[in-house]
Amino acid sequence: MSRSFFVTGTDTGVGKTLVTAALLRRLRESGVTVAGMKPVAAGAIAGPEGRANKDALLLQSESSLRHPYAIVNPWLFEPAIAPHIAAAEAGIVIDTNRIVDAHDVLRASAEVVLAEGAGGFLVPLDARRSFADLPGLLGMEVLLVVGLRLGCLNHALLTTAAIAARGYRLAGWIGNCIDAAFARQDANIATLTGMIVAPCLGIVPWLPNPGVAEAAAALPAAAMLRPA
């Protein structure tokens, strides 16, 4: 039995990649075989196998097995812009069958797959589809990364409502402290804990130079993601 999770966030820049990598490491170090995935990425750099996305490379490095980059990140676009705009500018329609095939390979090799989205939950793939379609297409549970800053309550509750409206299971949420000066942070966390009908897997503290090891240490409840 394996489990697969789609990691989304309340916005772009809330630490989805850091949290996903930290969950992979926490689970891997506890003896669970894991695989990270970035189905669609925008923003390319030079990588060991050719052009790559730095977030996808981090997820590849934190996985139990080193899968080919094209499996970890089936769709990569050069400019760091909204993926559907990048795809349109390249004259490409994102074929989700490529994502399904890559996910099948990862799921066959790991007990837990974590696939990180791009931006927030409803970021478009094209005029008709969005990242919100992927959990249903891939049979995934959902994890939500909440960027703890002013406005996070509204963003988190809107996102959880959108997840529930599609009939997906929200398996948990993670708070990431991205604003060192966030007023009443504890009160906001308490509000989120009371209003999100899913367990909190941990709160990543504000880190001036955030690293995977420090973030992983803040996620003791990651064990809840293990297969039964």
Q: Which residues does the annotation mark as catalytic?
A: 38
DSSP one-letter code for 68: -
Give the burial class of 31: count Cβ atoms within 10 A of its Cβ; 0-12 exposed, 13-18 middle, 19 or more buried.
Answer: exposed
Please tell me the number of Cα atoms within 13 Å of 108 on its side-chain side: 8
| DSSP string for residues in 109-122 | H-SEEEEEEEEETT
CA distance 104 to 138: 9
Residue by residue, what is the 3-state secondary structure of 142-186? Answer: EEEEEEECCCHHHHHHHHHHHHHHCCCCEEEEEEEECCCCCCCHH
* H or E element, residue 7: strand 3-9
CA distance 97 to 75: 11
CA distance 215 to 193: 19
CA 192 to chain centre: 19
Torsion from C-alpha of 61, 67, 73, 78, nearest 10 degrees: 70
